[in-house]
Structure 1
């Protein structure tokens, strides 16, 4: 910075040197006023007419030439005004340097809308397993299939999706990857997205009688109360389907809906299972208990429930039809639901655990209890 200012000052001195010499030369060659003349401002002499041969004090003072210091004052004033008009101030110069070092940030252009048209009220399934099982089970209505565009020949998997969609009259669109990322909001789509109607839980009143499911005394139902995380819900549905749960019932209150994220987390099991819901879970539990079903709750091993006996999953013996309850990820089962349980199942850890991680994730706990 100091070097730059010194360089610029030298340039200005070099530029003004000829002007200064010209001014000095003009002052040195100026004619001195003669007797009977007076000097006007600007170096011009004027003849003075004497008033009857008498000179006043004022005339004598005007007849005297300017002193040298007045010329220097004029030159200094001239250069001061010249610099003020041409040379930027230090503050302005520093501001310009700062702006050069830190240019104004350009505003990002507004995001363009996705170049696809969506059907009102539809949702986007994404991933190979959810889209494939949804097409196979046909529990939804389908509008469009989106496949990732590639440079070479499409993969056999994408060709199969295209063939299945065209066979059912579903329009197929090959789009860039960025379009697929926008459709599924950054999810792992694996090059496939499917626009379809949402999948809703079936009302409990529409469920078939238990005898239609078969299984006899080995029926096992799963009741979910207040599961809110879509990843947990999807993992629970996947474990329940793998381990042979006969029916799944969800409480309508404080429960996660059946979204495409749930379907992806379940690896498409949500597209296969019939998921029911009820607005009165406690009445359902009372009815099943009167029919001879055993109502089993779940609790962390640290909870001591005196009113309900707690049994380790390793010691539990399954004798008849049962309904297993899983509660919210944070607080578990509600007090009213817990009071209807005949036994509570728990999983004991293999070591001493610090507070905060003394329990399993609800999806992992569900798989462990189903297996036992």
Structure 2
């Protein structure tokens, strides 16, 4: 008799547990009475036993007076079909995973695990704190390995039966010297790693590069002349243009490259590839406000020179041909981004504006040079007029 009574109590508790799940699915909030009820359900009869009995019929809630405003109630047939769906095979004929029965119990079961065990399980699988990116190409990979500005994790090399090119072997030898893991992969995998770009058979997984701050090199200007030239980029967003500008600035001898942080291209692997690896050698300084930085340098005796296209006219600031300008004092050369050019705020801080005149009459649809090409011409012209400090 007692056994039969205990069996009936357990069946009723299972039905009440199922009713609570239905109420929660319909968006009704728990009450204190519900919470005490659920605690007794958890202690008396956990649905982890997989019996599945007593879950097909609608019954009243433990607090039916509080939820009497509920307009719609599921029908008996509806929950018959839901129970049948829950007991289907894990995968249907189409191969899509089925929804397991009692999926909500996993979170409830996890919450009953002691907190010290929860922390232990989380500590056993720590998340990687450092973000990684994939460089591609011989020059970026080699210079990233040799310059030591990145934390290198892994080198991916294309599998081939033929002997590797000398440049690829050089990168692999450098990776071996630094005890970097070398992983042979197929060309298809390399294409996926670099997004289908030209990788030359090499990809390197490493930490990213960020813009340098003024405090990073306080007291170490690195200026090579009495009249240093700093290149200031305002809103250059194309990574190919930024990479080409860095390559020209490094080759032609610009003393520093500065960029705005918020509306400019970040230092990505595409920029490194477009610069032929120069980004790994030459640090780029970033500022939250270029205008504030320019005002400080003007008070220190620097001159600010902007650039404009041929058709642009500014009556307030003199416009000069770049070939007529002489670099005789510390100078900040401002380059505007694609399309919009220099912002009005920065243009007002310029003491002169330089332009490159064309050697022919241009078609009306052709407005100006590419920003990276124009920057190369301006740098060459200005730096050619500068005398070294020892002369």
Q: What residue number does 2:311 align with?
A: 302
Residues 132-187 of structure 1, C-alpha deviations (whole Å, 9 max, x = no match) = 11111010000100111112233333322222112111100111111111100011
Residues 1:365 and 1:170: Cα distance change in structure 2 (over 3 Å)? same
Determine helix, strand or coil for the equivalent of 1:213: coil
- 322, 328, 342: which one aligns with 1:333: 342
Q: Report whether the alignment pairs 1:293 with 2:288.
A: no
- 147, 150, 173: which one aligns with 1:140: 150
Determine helix, strand or coil for the equivalent of 1:153: coil
TM-score, with normalisation over the residues of structure 2? 0.63
- 248, 255, 263: which one aligns with 2:257: 248
Contact 1:301 1:348 in 2 (8 A): yes
Residues 1:208 and 1:356: Cα distance change in structure 2 (over 3 Å)? farther
Equivalenced residue count is: 254
Q: Report whether the alignment pairs 1:205 with 2:212.
A: no
- 177, 191, 195: which one aligns with 1:181: 191
Residues 1:236 and 1:214: Cα distance change in structure 2 (over 3 Å)? closer
Determine helix, strand or coil for the equivalent of 1:217: coil
Q: Which shows bigger deviation, 268-277 or 198-207?
A: 198-207
Residues 26-76 of structure 1, C-alpha deviations (whole Å, 9 max, x = no match) = xxxxxxxxxxxxxxxxxxxxxxxxxxxxxxxxxxxxxxxxxxxxxxxxxxx
Whole-Å separation in 1 of the counterparts to 2:327 and 2:311: 24
TM-score, with normalisation over the residues of structure 1? 0.66
- 337, 346, 349: which one aligns with 2:355: 346
Q: Report whether the alignment pairs 1:192 with 2:202.
A: yes
Give 1:146-185 correspondences, 5 Å limit: 146-185=156-195
Give 1:1-372 correspondences, 5 Å limit: 121-209=131-219, 212-372=221-381
- Say what the alpha-carbon RMSD is for the aligned residues: 1.6
How far the C-alpha of 1:119 sits from its partner, in A, is 9.3
Q: Which shows bigger deviation, 290-299 or 354-363?
A: 354-363
Residues 1:338 and 1:248: Cα distance change in structure 2 (over 3 Å)? same
Contact 1:225 1:250 in 2 (8 A): yes
Contact 1:119 1:143 in 2 (8 A): no
Whole-Å separation in 1 of the counterparts to 2:210 and 2:203: 19
Contact 2:159 2:185 in 1 (8 A): yes
Which is higher, the Rg of structure 1 or of structure 2? 1
Determine helix, strand or coil for the equivalent of 1:162: helix
Residues 1:272 and 1:290: Cα distance change in structure 2 (over 3 Å)? same
Residues 72-115 of structure 1, C-alpha deviations (whole Å, 9 max, x = no match) = xxxxxxxxxxxxxxxxxxxxxxxxxxxxxxxxxxxxxxxxxxxx
How far the C-alpha of 1:294 sits from its partner, in A, is 1.1
Determine helix, strand or coil for the equivalent of 1:325: strand
Whole-Å separation in 2 of the counterparts to 1:161 and 1:347: 41
Provide runs of 4+ in structure 1 moved above 3 Å: none
Determine helix, strand or coil for the equivalent of 1:357: coil
How far the C-alpha of 1:222 sits from its partner, in A, is 0.7
Whole-Å separation in 1 of the counterparts to 2:361 and 2:225: 41
Contact 1:207 1:276 in 2 (8 A): no
Whole-Å separation in 2 of the counterparts to 1:288 and 1:219: 12
How far the C-alpha of 1:309 sits from its partner, in A, is 0.3
Whole-Å separation in 2 of the counterparts to 1:128 and 1:177: 15
The gaps in structure 2 that reach 5 residues or longer are: 1-127, 382-391
